[in-house]
Structure 1
Amino acid sequence: MEQIRNQLRAIKSLAGPFPSFHVEEASERPYELFLEWLGGAIEHGVHEPHAMTLSTIDHDGTPDARVLILKDVDERGWYFASSLESRKGQQIACNPGVALTFYWPGLGRQIRIRGKAVSMAEELSAQDFLNRGAVARAIALIGKQSAILDKREDFEEAFEQQMNRISQTPDVVAPSWTLYRVEAQEVEFWQGNEERKHKRLRYRLDGEKWIKNLLWA
């Protein structure tokens, strides 16, 4: 135990250098600042900057989390997709309150979003599904996400069946596939600092207006 503690303490964190964050110049709307930071992450070469952690709440109040891909963002919210039959889909059906977390260590930047996941129209969900690669569609069409798999051969057989199905019917859509929009109530931007003098800027929705506040690090 002492060895792993020492190893963990020896790992450097927030080494920098990091970009500056002029909070006084930040946009009045969080999605605009998000787009600015996302553009910076892409320009900086951050690996998979669209990867985010989606946190949900189970029916018994137990939190759950996994990494997904951001599909889109606009003034109405942040978008991701999943199956209604998946664990996260079931959790959202019980409690639409969710959180998204982005972390780009090379820039020392973290973005936290809290809000409500709202399912989009069926045609938008179908469009998102058809924009996925064939392998991803085949796996979604199997429709057994998170179920117990007795042996790997069962998966391979089901996968081949669905790949054949797609080749014969390219427009087939998994009926449970759903595009969600996270309508944010709170968005926080965190800029790390090598000297631990971090900056935190929180946006909180008050009616239809966003209120900005600096937070103690």
Structure 2
Amino acid sequence: MTSPKQLLRNLKSLSGPFLSFDVKQLPENPGELFLRWLNLAIENGVKEPHAMTLSTIDAEGCPDARVLILKNVVGDKFYFASSSESRKGQQLKRNPKASLTFYWPILGRQIRLRGTVEDLGDEAGAADFKERSVEARAVALMGNQSQELENEEELEYSLARQRERIKRTPEITTLNWRLYAMNVWEAEFWQGDIHRKHTRIQYYWVDGQWKHRRLWP
């Protein structure tokens, strides 16, 4: 039987070929470069390129991470949504500093963002909630996220009740649903290389303006 170590060692990584990354043609801010990379990811068939890992810190100072969907990018603000009663919602309320990570294996590209997250308020949360699919709204209306589920029947019953509520009142929303914006103050764009000579560009906010520099692989 193959050991876990050998199994992992046999897996290929960064096999390429990858797109080139011209560091001589960099925009002034990371939001613009992100959108360039996002469009290239879409053009090259990356599945769910808007999926990202949100990392937060809990009350004990331990990191926590999960995958969410990016909702919008405006300037250097990155938008996502969640229930305020979820673990991530509670963690962001206590400590709004967080990070976002995107990884697109077929392009060998990773983007890391660090910043401060703000809750955009009731109106923005309600507007985002109404744009969600019926199933997504039904799940959000149930509440109970991250709490213990004792049986599948309880879940199906609760879902059916919420679908009926939406059918009767299509405009229904919940104050627990929040739209968040991360105000980025540091961003790193990483282009992998098959020979591990990776290209890394870091943007950082200092003295009221963006600066960038190249980092060692």
Give the TM-score band, short-chain normalised.
over 0.9
Q: Give aligned-pair identity as a percent.
A: 52
Structure 2 counterpart of 1:42: 42
Aligned partner of 2:110 in structure 1 is 110
Secondary structure of the corresponding residue to residue 196 of structure 1: coil
Deviation of the 1:125 alpha carbon: 1.1
Runs of 4+ in 1 over 6 A off after TM superposition: none
Q: Which residue of 2 aligns with 1:71?
A: 71
Paired position in structure 2 for 1:136 = 136
Aligned position for 2:175: 175
- Deviation, 1:2, is 6.3
* CA shift digits 1:42-90 (9 cap, x unpaired): 0000000000000000001000000000000011410000010000000
After superposition, give the CA deviation of every residue in 1:147-194 in whole Å (9 maximum; x if it has no partner).
111111111111100000000000000111000000011000000001
Letter in 1 for 2:69: I
Q: Aligned partner of 1:180: which letter? A: Y
1:91 equivalent in structure 2:
91
Q: Distance in 2 between matches of 1:212 and 1:4?
A: 40
How many residues are matched? 217
Q: Does 1:186 align with 2:186?
A: yes
Q: List alignment gaps of at least 5 residues for structure 1.
A: none
**Partners of 1:183 and 1:207 in 2: how far apart?**
16
Aligned to 2:30: 30
CA 1:13/1:76 → structure 2, altered by over 3 Å: closer, same or farther? closer
Per the alignment, residue 154 of structure 1 pairs with 154
Q: Which residue of 2 aligns with 1:202?
A: 202
Q: Which residue of 2 aligns with 1:164?
A: 164
Deviation at 1:122, TM superposition (A): 1.6
Cα distance change on mapping 1:157 and 1:72 into 2, 3 Å:
same
SS at match of 2:126: helix
Matches within 5 A, 1:117-132: 117-132=117-132
Higher deviation after alignment, 205-214 or 81-90? 205-214
Q: Report the counterpart of residue 17 of structure 2 in structure 1.
A: 17
Letter in 2 for 1:144: N
Distance 2:24 2:179 in 1: 35
Cα RMSD of the aligned pairs, angstroms, is 1.0
